[in-house]
Amino acid sequence: MRKYLQHIILAVLLMVTNVLSAQDLHFSQYFNAPLLVNPANTGFNPDYDYRIGGNYRNQWAGVINNPYKTMSLWGDVQLFNNRFENGWVGLGGTLYRDEAGSGSLTSTQGYVSAAYHQLLGYSSLLSFGANIGFVNKRIDINKLSFDNQWNGKFFDVNAGSGEAFMYSGVGYFDLQVGLNYALFLSDRAYFNVGVSASHINRPQESFFAPNNTVDTRVPVRFTTFLNGSFKLDDNWIINPNIYVSQSATATETVIGINANRNLSGEGGAQQLILGAYYRNKDAIIPMVGYQINDMKITFNYDVTTSSLSTFNGRQGAFEISIVKNGIYGGSGKAIKCPTVKF
């Protein structure tokens, strides 16, 4: 029965991927995968010249033998900071890989992104970014079983699947654009709002034979986020935020808060990170992390609250992210806009 359930789940995922919409990569710690959320985030890191990050997510281990595994590496740098009096350029790159299911469904994506950041007066910043990338998705059809192969007792692999598979792999170019606006009220309060649109070129994505009655173009995905950072005193900084992403009829909403606790006095060289988030109709997400100097490690666990909890015992997903910031030459740098920090 468990194996049969796995095939049903994978079949639903295939249908969603190839008929309704593309399965985009996502992380609960979306704020620790900034280039994935919005290309306008490229180089938006006022305190530092560059940053490098990595993310790993393992999902649905309690439901299928081969759970979703999502991995990413990304990095960005600030350029021409000394040439533009009131702005700078950001350049970055990302690499993502997603693996799932008995059919070895994999998605590999690589993007390069660029953004321009322009100061508006002394207390706000407007950013525009874009990226271009290549997406490759593959599946091992021979590892799958279908309803036509069920003879009432077991799956007969010698029976025809009844499905019109034509390709075991698809590839296409992908485009994304985004805008960010940041408002620096003071060195103790900051707001940031961003919007982006992915798959604006509407690429075709399907493992099946061409069918004029089915639209296999990837739908445009719209993403909005709003976050803030508030320094309460010398020991606490809180960061409330909300993320909303919509693709075709599917919507994902994540809302929550992080709190940074200063453990080392002035400068905040060591910080404890505590957080709690909620993904609408899906999961409660407790979070913990630790920052030392320019290195931050954050861990979260998604506790399933949807009807899927009946099958997985609320074992949703665990996720870890590592982010390293740096300054060229290791010396200080001139900051063009205020930041909230210890």
Domain range summary for the chain, segments of one domain joined by +: 2-330
**Partners of 135 in the beta sheet?**
109, 172
CB 68 within 8 A of CB 337: no
Hey, how many other C-beta atoms are within 10 angstroms of the C-beta on 164?
A: 11
Q: What average pLDDT is seen over the chain?
A: 86
- 282-341 per-position pLDDT tens digit: 999 999 999 999 999 999 999 989 876 676 667 779 999 999 999 987 666 777 777 898
Is residue 4 predicted with pLDDT exceeding 50? no
CA pair distance 201, 198, nearest whole angstrom: 8
Of 117, 108, 129, 279, the residue nearest 198 (C-alpha): 129
Is residue 12 predicted with pLDDT exceeding 50? no
Q: What is the pLDDT of residue 13?
A: 42
What does CATH list as the number for 2-330?
Answer: 2.40.160.40
Q: Which residues have CB under 8 Å from 50's CB, separation 6+? A: 75, 76, 77, 78, 325, 326, 327, 328
Q: What is the pLDDT of residue 23?
A: 46
Helix (H) / strand (E) containing 210 = none
120: confidence class by pLDDT, cuts 50, 70, 90: very high
Mean pLDDT value of segment 123-151: 86
